[in-house]
Structure 1
Amino acid sequence: MRFADKSIYADESILIPRKGSLNNLFYKNEPFWTVDTMFYTKINKHKVYPKFLFYQLTTIDYSNLNVGSAVPSLTVPVLNEIDILLPPLPEQIQIASILSSLDDKIDLLQRQNKTLEQLAETLFRQWFVEEAEWKGNLSEYVKVQGGYAFKSKDFKEIGFAGIIKITNISMEFIDINKSDFVDETVVENLDKRFKIKSGDFLIAMTGAEIGKIGIVEKTEKEIWVNQRVGKLEPKIPYGNIIGYLALKSREGQDHIINACSGSAQENISTNGIEEMVFASYNSEKANSFGRLSQPFFDKIIFNLNQIRTLTQLRDNLLPKLMSGEVRVKN
């Protein structure tokens, strides 16, 4: 985010992309300035509650309204033709309040997870960066297991086993809810080292996502890892936690960038990741750090599960409330 000395508008508004990622809408309730690739709205509050309008507009797929060729684009005339359902104002406020309360809970859990990660990262730097000489390698702590080369022809929208690809990885978590699937016959005889469990740490090894690393939330789903995604397998107790924090650190990300190869598409090997220069293994230090940091990650995994539940509830309620299928009583 960038800042300006003065605002272009100071009242509640919904920002809609003019070009680029057309479905990336924003609600603003503070003075703001926007770039020329975004529209902002002036809302008639006598007719529509601004937060309700925001939720209503997020139910639209704006890619269907695209008027651009090379770059996805929207225009004011196109936006002005959008029909929206407006219940009475008191009902709009109630609907927005329900959805906002879910968003607020999700945001609180996300911020809590960020704080927990920061606490773990602070401890990590104290124990393994500021008070340790880096004369060893990350391979003393973890083995990076590359994923299986699943065939694209086997992927389905619905199936027995979810397949985690590079696009499912962010710096905060692994999105297991938007994966492709394969039938049971594809994985029934597959080596279990390619299988994923709750609490695993996965890292992207190719392309624009290279170096992104996240944690797998609690799940009962059958999940497997695709090629060019690495899974951190601990060689010592808590080795995967230490490896995760090492690779997520500034030093770890620098190592990945410097160890990349490939011209058309950057990539790094499992060995290349393991070769990161790091503090020599000390069992007492590693175990003490692990015992201190493990509760942080247990809570993060618990929160991720809560976030997923609340997000699914919100996403299921949103279209039903907006269409009038589900009504709220005064």
Structure 2
Amino acid sequence: MTNLKEYKLSDLMEIKYGKDHKHLADGSYPLFGSGGIMRYVEKSIYEEESILIPRKGTLSNLFYVNEPFWSVDTMFWSKIKQDLVLPKYLYYTLKTYNLAELNVGSAVPSLTTEVLNKVLISIPDKNTQTSITEILTSLDDKIELNNKINHELETLAQTLFKQWFIDFEFPNENGEPYKSSGGEMADSELGVIPKGWGVGSIYEISDVIYGAPFKSKLFNQEGKGFPLIRIRDMKTFQPQNWTEEVLPKGTKIVAGDLIVGMDAEFRPIFWLGQPAWLNQRLCYFNPKKGFSKLFVREIIRPQLAFFENSSVGTTVIHLGKADIDTFKSIIPNKIVMGLFEEISNSIFEKIINNSKEKNQLTYLRDLLLKKLITGDLEINEINN
């Protein structure tokens, strides 16, 4: 990239401290903490474009804000000198820096204005800034649209499950809501359910397969062998370790498989990453014929939450096979279950496809971000 000019960060932005928010009533302005929007409050601390940087905690978790906002006292916010740099371009540039390397804390990762102000930033001319920002923003917009669509699909799926299997308002033979149309009900160990339905163990609706004990000393980060899913990979869907070890009882997980971590948090998630081995302390719920993945997930979700919330007095909570053995499920009749499977599978496929596309867009955005900001890739190369 030509025509770069180097600045100290203090030349490009004035870093300000956030303020306490406990005295603020609820309102319409977003209040940002290191994890994102915490709530909405009655006042704003600033009303122009700004970049928010954690003062403590996860130091690389930056936010670009283009609306009035408030920032907590563990965050920095900024007044950007827009005659020199576009705020969003500066945000994208800072995203390429590993701010965690500037940590001055001991027990808690921390940043200071003194350290941040000395960071050197190379800035191109305004036209180049604009072109790069437009490219990256277009990808961010597509990612956000996918997130919005998936959120709506998830809400639809959970609403459908509740309507059919909690409120029992699935369509009867006349297409009317079953329970409110006088459908017969019967007592069961899980409460009143439609007559003719049953109650069974988790194993009547799903196989439960446990991860294998791959040896950590054989892990590598060079991509040798096959990737390995560990609990920490469930949020990013990006395995950090590979192994050349092959175990007889090893299970390969692919996109769309329903897995659960068995330490700390017991959350059922659909894996969205590349095919990978399932490591120990994770389990895979493989629905039996006639039962959809969404049905199984919604059945186990509250039961997992029960064990997570009832485990007290230990630093890290654990889920065991004995706990899963206690899981129960309603067993709908085949007609209702078949219809739900058809509808829910359609929703599920859309969620998975959108998620795969989002992951591809995120990878492309991050790749272009680094290459465009550093000048390894020119704008005209993208246009071509």
Q: TM-score, normalised by structure 2?
A: 0.77
Q: In structure 1, what is the Cα distance between the partners aligned to 2:336 and 2:322?
A: 25
2:204 paired with 1:140: yes
- AA in 2 matched with 1:273: I
Alignment of 1:51-62 (within 5 A): 51-62=88-99
Rounded Cα–Cα distance in structure 2 between residues aligned with 1:280 and 1:313: 44
User: CA contact under 8 A between 1:169 and 1:212: conserved in structure 2?
Assistant: no
Which amino acid counterpart does residue 215 of structure 2 have in structure 1? K
Match of 2:138 in 1: 101
User: Please, which of 43, 52, 56 is the counterpart of residue 15 of structure 1?
Assistant: 52
**1:246 aligned partner:** 299
2:101 is equivalent to residue 46 of structure 1: no
Aligned partner letter, 1:109: N
Q: Deviations over 1:170-201 (max 9, x none)?
A: 4xxxx442331001xx11x5235x22123211
* Aligned partner of residue 41 in structure 1, secondary structure: strand
The partner residue of 2:249 within 191, 206, 221 is 191
CA distance in 2, matches of 1:285, 1:154: 48
- 2:271 counterpart of 1:216: yes
Consecutive aligned runs of 4 or more in structure 1 exceeding 6 Å deviation = none
> Which position in structure 2 is the counterpart of 1:119?
156
Asked whether the equivalents of residues 144 and 274 of structure 1 are also in contact (C-alpha less than 8 Å), the reply is: no
Cα pair 1:136 1:281 within 8 Å, conserved: no
Identity %: 39
Q: Compared with structure 1, are the counterparts of its residues 254 and 308 closer, same or farther at alpha carbon in structure 2 (3 Å cutoff)?
A: closer
SS of structure 1 residue aligned to 2:283: strand
Deviation at 1:295? 0.9
Q: Distance in 2 between matches of 1:298 and 1:84?
A: 43
The Cα of 1:260 is off from its aligned counterpart by 4.6
Aligned residues of 1:161 and 1:182 also touching (Cα < 8 A): yes
Residue 27 of structure 1: how far off its partner (Å): 0.5
Q: Which moved more, 1:258-267 or 1:196-205?
A: 258-267
Residue correspondence of structure 1 range 69-88 to structure 2 within 5 A? 69-88=106-125
Matched, 1:181 2:181: no
Alignment pair present for 1:304 and 2:359: no
Q: What is the aligned partner in structure 1 of residue 28 from structure 2? A: none
Q: Return the offset for 1:156.
A: 0.7
| Matched letter for residue 112 of structure 1 | I
What is the deviation of 1:94? 1.1
Q: Which residue of 1 aligns with 2:127?
A: 90
Unaligned runs of 5+ in 1: none
| Residue 282 of structure 1 pairs with residue 333 of structure 2 | yes
Q: Is the 8 A contact 2:157 2:294 kept in 1?
A: no
CA distance in 2 between counterparts of 1:281 and 1:307 reads 34
Number of equivalences: 316
Q: Which has the higher contact order (CA 8 A, sep 6+)?
A: 1
Where 2:39 maps in the other structure, the secondary structure is coil
1:205 corresponds, among 262, 268, 286, to 262
Higher strand share: 2
**Higher Cα radius of gyration:** 2
Specify the code of the residue in structure 2 equivalent to 1:182: T
Structure-1 residue corresponding to 2:218: 154
Rounded to whole Å, the distance in 2 between the matches of 1:277 and 1:226 is: 26
Cα displacement (A) at 1:72: 0.9
Name the CA distance, whole Å, in 1 between partners of 2:162 and 2:203. Answer: 19
Contact 2:260 2:268 in 1 (8 A): yes
Q: Secondary structure at 1:98's aligned position in 2?
A: helix
Q: Give how far 1:262 is off.
A: 7.8
Query: Which of residues 357, 364, 368 is equivalent to 1:317?
Result: 368
